[in-house]
Amino acid sequence: MSDNPASDVLDIAPNVDDALRSDKPVVALESTIISHGMPYPRNVEAASAVEAAVRAAGAVPATIAVLGGRLKVGLSMDEIRRLGEQGPQVIKCSRRDLPFVLARKETGATTVAATMIIAAMAGIRVFATGGIGGVHRGVAETMDISADLEELARTNVAVVCAGVKSVLDIGRTLEYLETAGVPVVGYQTDTLPGFYSRCSGFPVDYRVDTAKEVAAALQTKWDMGLQGGLVVAVPIPEAHALARDEIDGVINEAITEMQRQGIAGKDTTPFLLARIAERTGGQSLEANIQLVLNNARVAAEIAVQLGHDIC
């Protein structure tokens, strides 16, 4: 358990707390994907299925959010349902937002960065999500770079994902992570997954083929005192993958529309996800759900291995 002085605002669900105290594997899950990433009621159904996938793989799920000014690690289904029903009305919380949402005793859904912070406070070392944020297209004009990247450089949590969100500038995001010293590994792949598609065309730093390999690298990194996380990039299952050329065309059209409407900042990703889902007839939403489920399974396997004596 963490000795962080901020633990007085941290509420850990009894089952998660028991698991942590017993050194049982726990996987953190974010809540922005519930409130801002999918429509109701699919968001609630997906969140429930993701938690079930973590349990089936031998770990304890801990969905994270801010509720009434408290950092919550492990949500009940009623709490998840309320987040899903409120949807985008819930405050989207990254590192900069947490002090204000807590001080005002508000409710917030945690991004990758905020989920990593709270997971680390609780002592959770593995986190499963859909895709990480990164460098936005047109960054030379907007300077829009996700706080997720800085968090990966400073917080000791491994992030299991399907790569960088495909609406971003993947090449520049990988350059940023390299500069920050964050390893990007491909899980059973030599190339970075393209979120909705299995390949983005960009190479990863290292390929790993088993959860044990990931756990060994993580343990070695942290034993050396090297701060920061690790990106474990897992391709979407082939049965649910979308064709790269087709989805790239849809994404480019959605970005053009977003720019025409002047949408920026926190509203960017929810707008693009909604437009992409609309233009793919819901295929992208189903792909999103399936890749998160797959990531959750892999994250649980890694968490299980971290609990073993790794040689």
So what's the pLDDT on residue 142?
67
- Please state which of the ranges 65-69, 241-245, 289-293 shows the lowest mean pLDDT: 241-245
Task: Judge residue 250's burial from the number of C-beta atoms within 10 Å of its C-beta, 0-12 exposed, 13-18 middle, 19 or more buried.
Answer: buried
Task: For residue 208, give the 3-state DSSP assignment.
Answer: strand
CB-CB contact of 33 with 129 (8 Å): yes
Element (H, E) at 56: helix 42-56
- CATH code for the domain of 184: 3.40.1790.10
User: What tokens appear for 88 in the block?
Assistant: 């985008």
167 closest CA partner among 45, 236, 257: 257
Active site residue 221: no
Q: Is residue 179 part of a domain?
A: yes
pLDDT tens across 35-86, in order? 998 899 999 999 999 999 999 999 999 999 999 999 999 999 999 999 999 9
Paired residues of 10 in beta bridges: 71
Residue with tokens 């529309």: 257
Q: Is residue 187 part of a domain?
A: yes
Q: Is residue 17 part of a domain?
A: yes
Q: Is residue 261 part of a domain?
A: no
For residue 1, pLDDT over 50 is answered with no
Of 51, 72, 79, 165, the catalytic one is 165
What confidence tier does 165 reach under pLDDT thresholds 50, 70, 90? confident
CB atoms within 10 A of CB 63: 29
What confidence tier does 6 reach under pLDDT thresholds 50, 70, 90? low
**Cβ contacts of 235 within 8 Å, gap of 6 or more:** 162, 186, 187, 188, 189, 193, 198, 199, 241
Q: Is residue 255 part of a domain?
A: no
Give dist(CA 124, CA 303) in Å, integer.
9
Q: Is residue 77 part of a domain?
A: yes
Of 30, 51, 79, 151, the catalytic one is 30
Active site residue 165: yes
For residue 311, pLDDT over 50 is answered with no
Domain count within the chain:
1
CB-CB contact of 124 with 72 (8 Å): no
Q: Is residue 109 part of a domain?
A: yes
Q: Is residue 280 part of a domain?
A: no
For residue 264, pLDDT over 80 is answered with no
Domain carrying residue 219: 5-242+285-306
The per-residue pLDDT of the chain, averaged, comes to: 92
